[in-house]
Chain A
């Protein structure tokens, strides 16, 4: 489980931000398979931070990438902090980081040290790292605190990819880069409420927001009043979720009110508990290949088209 974002730059280039492997077929890297299938070249890569749900399979992407690879240098020599021994996915982040180090060693021109304001440009497209600053990189250790949101600018269109940056950093990011002025936002940290500050994201309600819930438990995101998705829907009309683990009634349209998701989440708690404690069952993704959302914008940032996989939903208030 994890998240991976593919940014396609017409006509035939792509930037991939973070990576994941198929939950069962661990040799499959969906982002890579997609691009190879479409014969699209990987022009650049970004590893926002080396947590396994973002780094798994990154090594495979690196071996197909022709251009710069963005990563915080500070992650490389402290791998044990981000890839603790004894974890059942131990080494997956190290493998991603090792692939970056290997490429950086061999081709120094591919080094893109992710620090505030560092950027790369492809034609009309510029990718800018929004965090952390050099001093933050020296002082902080937690991977989420050091994770790098990316601002993508293509002509007038602005897309913010939130990585997993906690909410306390967003005011600085916002004041530096005006991140509220965006056409699309990938919500930080799988929609965890610890990473979302309503005040920092106010703006037009028709912005395109997408979250990548990835835990097997039905949270995050939380669907209850005043929590998680409810907070998001205070800023925008609808939020795309790349995957929910409940069976929704209208799978074809994918539209579902938040209250329905809240009820579905509550319903699965009915399992027999123990000593008065309720259980939440571990839910499996029904169809992980369908856990995606594709969206395209014109040069003014107007949403042109959205295609969603059957595992994804569109949540609105109600």
Chain B
């Protein structure tokens, strides 16, 4: 019998699902922490079979809150009857966040199968680079499983053109459309949440055409519709009721100490239980288990609960393995079996850490364990880059590759292959990633990982070159050029592919910026200026809809390069085309403006104060270090700002700035050779003094008879201006390869 890990779990994407039977009375209860030791339907999702210590302490099973199950049942039945009656159309299921839409779809799939229909469930991970790829592969895999086994070989063959793959899928769908029902879980989340999403949208556009175009199939969408999709035939609202009180008080499947905590929680009447979700309750129990006093829980929201949970786990080294396992598990997408727990070195089940992990952080479904999306995102960043790469590598070699090798069906094969690809790409395993890549989009993703995450620009260039051989893809052209450019290799090839990409997609500000920066650092200033003018015309940057991030993409990088190469005139022209509003508000552009002004003053020989002070009217606010009076009461009557120009054995040549009463608008610049001994007498240790350093010189007393000098500690141009966009790669890279 299937263990029902509470269908009122609040996960966004991986809501648990009920067992094949909808007879709620037969269900074995499971706690929201899924401390269910009852057998599960899927072998892979079976937890450790030996009875752990804590498990033996369990008392009796309680009843589950049935109200929501009943709502799922009724919705599933309602939808089944509609889908049976109709031969085509789109039905949309809407629901508040995290109430179990995904569970509903999974239940629907089972019921439709029982009715003899062929449901195809597309539920890729949300917001990943490869989400749409995974969705398309899931479609092909399920069609291969149910209708045309040859599809699997076709879709996974890199030699076969994308369009041919699509044609085969379309053909199969058309041949069997009477039988097929497509179930789409949050299709609006099938693209990454970054501006790059447009480069990975092609598989999604295919699905859109296949499902929401003229094809006469039935489609059920859980969540938001795709922007381009047809209007749904019917929108079905789904808002099941959850009663935490029943769960807390009657679910007695906890280990005994957890049950006590659940009761303790319930006894705290101030916790607003009616608005708490099962995830929150699991976290609250977990916090109690970790020794956090319950009195502190009252005002914590779901978001802060997750944060507090992490903080509590970080606060004591005894939770270290729990924290590490949580972080590593967050790298998994979708459900996973107990094997994955050992792969991430999760604490053993018979320890408190192991129990908290399994009951409070994870929950269990028919397909295995699931980590809630919120917990997944909140732990991100916990692992160092090296640890993350290693975890991806371990998950690939110890979990997904073995799974992939013994996949029992086309559907499983696809499922594990796409995960193999994901972890191979994330860990930089070029060989496996290339083996498991079905579509050109995956090569683009792989190249991006290699370049951006692993700094393997040569490998990235090779992968993009492979992608170009498969398809004439603008993104692949551009990043083939970019990675070669980073390596300062084959500049003529770089230029050719930059141009090719911009010809195909001329409205990408960042791409223009890469290309023009390339020209500029190659010393081709006139070409760069010409392309800049072309970019401005093409992109129409003067339109009001241009936003700060677009200015940063196009102008920001170029400005940094132009300033680094002292192309001040060009920098001026770039700044002139930034909107006033962005110029005023964006620290990057303010910094660029300041830097430009400083460089101009530098050219004019007017730099006598450190860079941070250059753009202020320093002569109005200084002196900055000189005392206004001395111990003997003498007051400061005159002061000069100075930059060290040269130091020889006897003298220090200073460039001096002083505002004269005859010309108070601007400092007068002069030079003076100061004997070292004199500066020592005035208080400056000249031994370490170097050109480029700054001093303040002051005269005290009415007769200007006492002198003091103070050295600025920092602040020349070499110091990094944090707000200015960092230049990557090094603008001198082509010269360095000379």
Cα–Cα distance between A109 and B670 once the two chains are bound (Å): 48
B-side interface mostly: mixed
B568 adjacent to chain A (CB < 8 Å): yes
Q: How far is the CA of A33 from the CA of B522 in the complex (A)?
A: 22
Picked from B566, B731, B736, the residue with its CB within 8 Å of the CB of A89 is: B566
Residues of chain B within 8 A of A92, CB atoms compared: 565-566
Identify the closest chain B residue to A106 (Cβ): B492
Whether the pair A63, B717 counts as a contact (CB closer than 8 A) is no
Within 8 A of A (CB), among B226-248: none
Closest CB in chain B relative to A151 CB, distance in Å? 26
The reply to whether the CB of B527 lies closer than 8 angstroms to some CB of chain A is yes
Q: How far is the CB of B706 from chain A (nearest CB, A)?
A: 10
A30-80: which residues lie under 8 A (CB-CB) from chain B?
Answer: 52, 56, 59-60, 62-63, 73, 76-77, 79-80
A86 within 8 A of B: yes
**Which residues of chain B have C-beta atoms less than 8 A from A181's C-beta?**
none
Q: Could you tell me the distance between the alpha carbons of A76 and B522 in the complex, rounded to whole angstroms?
A: 12
The answer to whether A91 touches B564 (Cβ under 8 A) is yes
Residue from A26, A99, A277, A279 within 8 A of B568 (CB atoms): A26
With A26-B569, A94-B565, A274-B672: A88-B523 Cβ-Cβ less than 8 Å: no
Binary interface encoding of chain A residues 213-228 relative to chain B, with 1 for a CB under 8 A from any of its CBs, else 0: 0001100000000000
The answer to whether B602 and A59 have CB atoms under 8 Å apart is no
B673 surroundings in chain A (CB, below 8 A)? 277
Partner of B737, one of A26, A77, A80: A77
Which of A24, A26, A98, A106 has the largest number of chain B CB atoms within 10 A?
Answer: A98
A60-B525, A76-B738, A102-B523 are known contacts. Are A95 and B566 too (CB-CB below 8 A)? yes
Contacts of A278 in B (CB 8 A): 672
Assembled-state Cα–Cα distance A78/B603 (Å): 23
Cβ–Cβ < 8 Å partners of A62 in chain B:
523
| Pair A59/B603 contact, Cβ less than 8 Å | no
Q: Which of B570-600 contact A (CB under 8 A)?
A: 570, 598-600
Taken together as a complex, chains A and B put the C-alpha atoms of A60 and B565 apart, in Å, by 13
Q: Give CA–CA (A282, B522) in the complex, Å.
A: 35
Q: How large is the interface on A (under 10, 10 to 19, 20 to 34, 35 or more residues)?
A: 35 or more
Indicate if B526 sits at the interface (CB-CB under 8 A): yes
Contact, CB under 8 Å: A59 / B736:
no
Please, which residues of chain B bring their CB within 8 A of the CB of A314? Answer: none
Q: Mark A264-279, 1 if CB is under 8 A from B, else 0.
A: 0000000101111111
Q: Mark A250-289, 1 if CB is under 8 A from B, else 0.
A: 0000000000000000000001011111111110000000
Within 8 A of A (CB), among B691-738: 692, 697, 699, 707, 716-719, 731-732, 734-738
Q: Which of A23, A63, A85 contacts B526 (CB 8 A)?
A: A63
Cβ contact within 8 Å between A273 and B672: yes
Given A26-B569, A101-B523, A101-B738, does the pair A87, B717 have CB atoms closer than 8 Å? yes
Does residue A161 face the partner (Cβ distance < 8 Å to B)? no
Q: Min CB distance, A2 to chain B, in Å? A: 11
Contact of A88 among B524, B565, B599, B638 (CB under 8 A): B599
Q: What separation, in Å, do the CA atoms of A76 and B734 have in the docked complex?
A: 9
- Cross-chain contact B670 with A275 (CB below 8 angstroms): no
- Does any Cβ of A come within 8 Å of B607's Cβ? yes
How many residues of B are counted as interface, with CB atoms below 8 angstroms from the partner's CB atoms? 55
- Complex Cα distance A200/B246, Å? 105
B655: nearest chain-A partner, CB-CB = A282
Closest to B521 in A: A98
**For the complex, is A175 an interface residue (Cβ under 8 Å from B)?**
no
Q: Whole-angstrom distance between the alpha carbons of A101 and B733 in the complex? A: 11
Bound complex: CA A168 to CA B708 (Å) = 41
> Contact at A76–B735, with CB atoms within 8 Å?
yes
Does A124 reach chain B (CB closer than 8 Å)? no
Minimum CB–CB distance for A81 against chain B, Å: 11
Judge if B605 is at the interface, Cβ distance under 8 Å. yes
A163 at the interface (CB under 8 A from B): no
Asked if B718 and A280 make an inter-chain contact with CB atoms under 8 angstroms apart, the answer reads no
State how many angstroms separate the Cβ of B725 from the closest Cβ of chain A: 15
Does residue A96 face the partner (Cβ distance < 8 Å to B)? yes
B638: which A residues are within 8 A, CB to CB? 274
Q: In the bound complex, do residue B738 and residue A77 qualify as a contact, i.e. CB atoms below 8 Å apart?
A: yes
Q: With A275-B699, A277-B674 in contact, is A90–B735 under 8 Å at CB?
A: no
B699 to A274, Cβ gap below 8 A?
yes
> Is A105 positioned at the interface, with any CB of B under 8 Å from its CB?
yes
**Interface residue? B434 (CB, 8 A):** no
- Contact across chains for A101 and B671 when beta carbons are under 8 A apart: no
A25 part of interface (Cβ distance < 8 Å): yes
Which of B566, B570, B598, B697 has the most chain A CB atoms closer than 10 A to its own CB?
Answer: B566
CB distance from A271 to the nearest CB of B (A): 6
Distance in Å: Cβ of B724 to nearest Cβ of chain A: 13
A239 part of interface (Cβ distance < 8 Å): no
Known contacts A80-B732, A101-B735, A89 near B602 by CB under 8 Å:
yes
- Asked if A100 is at the interface (CB within 8 A of a chain B CB), the reply is yes
Contacts of A279 in B (CB 8 A): 656, 670-672
List residues of B (436-464) whose CB comes within 8 Å of A's CBs. Answer: none
Most buried by B among A26, A52, A89, A217: A26
Q: Is the CB of A90 within 8 A of B566?
A: yes
| Chain B 631-670 interface 0/1 with A at a Cβ cutoff of 8 Å (1 = within) | 0000000101000000000000001100000000000111
A168-195: contact bitstring with B at CB < 8 Å (1 yes, 0 no)? 0000000000000000000000000000
**Chain A residues with CB below 8 A from B525, complex form:** 59-60, 63, 95, 99
Q: A98 and B527: CB pair below 8 A? A: no
Contacts of A52 in B (CB 8 A): 566
CB of B604 within 8 Å of the partner chain: yes
A26-B568, A94-B565, A100-B523 as given contacts; A280 in contact with B671, CB under 8 Å: yes
Most buried by A among B656, B672, B735: B735
The answer on a CB contact under 8 Å between B718 and A85 is yes
- Chain B residues lying within 8 Å of A59, measured Cβ to Cβ, are 523-525
Query: Which of A25, A88, A106 neighbours the largest number of chain B CB atoms within 10 Å of its CB?
Result: A88
Chain B's closest residue to A280 (CB) is B671
Known interface pairs A77-B737, A90-B717; A281-B569 also in contact (CB < 8 Å):
no
Tell me whether B671 and A98 are in contact (CB under 8 A): no
Residues in A neighbouring B177, C-beta threshold 8 A: none
For the complex, give the distance between the alpha carbons of A73 and B737 in Å: 12
- Residues of chain B with a CB closer than 8 A to A24's CB: 604
Residue A11 is within 8 A (CB to CB) of chain B in the complex: no
Instruction: Chain B residues near A102: list those with CB within 8 A.
Output: 491, 522-524, 734
A80 cross-chain contacts in B, Cβ below 8 A: 732
Q: Contact: A98 with B522, CB < 8 Å?
A: yes
A317 to B656, alpha carbons, bound, how many Å?
Answer: 33
How far apart are B578's CB and chain A's nearest CB, in angstroms? Answer: 18
- CB neighbours (8 Å) of B689 from chain A are none
* Given known contacts A101-B735, A101-B738, A280 and B523 CB-to-CB distance under 8 angstroms: no
- A99 to B522, alpha carbons, bound, how many Å? 6
Q: Does B80 reach chain A (CB closer than 8 Å)?
A: no
Q: Is the CB of A96 within 8 A of B717?
A: no
Q: Is the CB of A94 within 8 A of B678?
A: no
Shortest Cβ distance from residue A16 to the other chain B in the assembled complex, whole angstroms: 15
B352 at the interface (CB under 8 A from A): no
3 A-B pairs with the lowest CB-CB distances in the bound complex, closest first: A88-B602, A99-B523, A86-B718
User: What are 19 inter-chain pairs, A to B, with CB distance below 8 A?
Assistant: A26-B600, A27-B570, A63-B526, A73-B738, A76-B735, A77-B737, A86-B718, A88-B599, A88-B717, A90-B564, A94-B565, A99-B523, A101-B523, A102-B734, A105-B491, A216-B605, A274-B638, A278-B672, A282-B671
Taking Cβ atoms with an 8 Å cutoff, the residues of A that contact B are: 23-27, 52, 56, 59-60, 62-63, 73, 76-77, 79-80, 85-92, 94-102, 105-106, 216-217, 271, 273-282
Tell me the B residues contacting A by CB distance below 8 Å.
491-492, 521-527, 563-570, 598-605, 607, 638, 640, 655-656, 668-675, 678, 682, 692, 697, 699, 707, 716-719, 731-732, 734-738
Extra A-B contacts (18), CB below 8 Å, given A63-B526, A88-B601: A26-B568, A26-B600, A59-B525, A76-B738, A77-B737, A79-B732, A85-B718, A86-B717, A88-B607, A90-B566, A91-B565, A95-B525, A99-B523, A277-B672, A277-B673, A280-B672, A282-B605, A282-B655
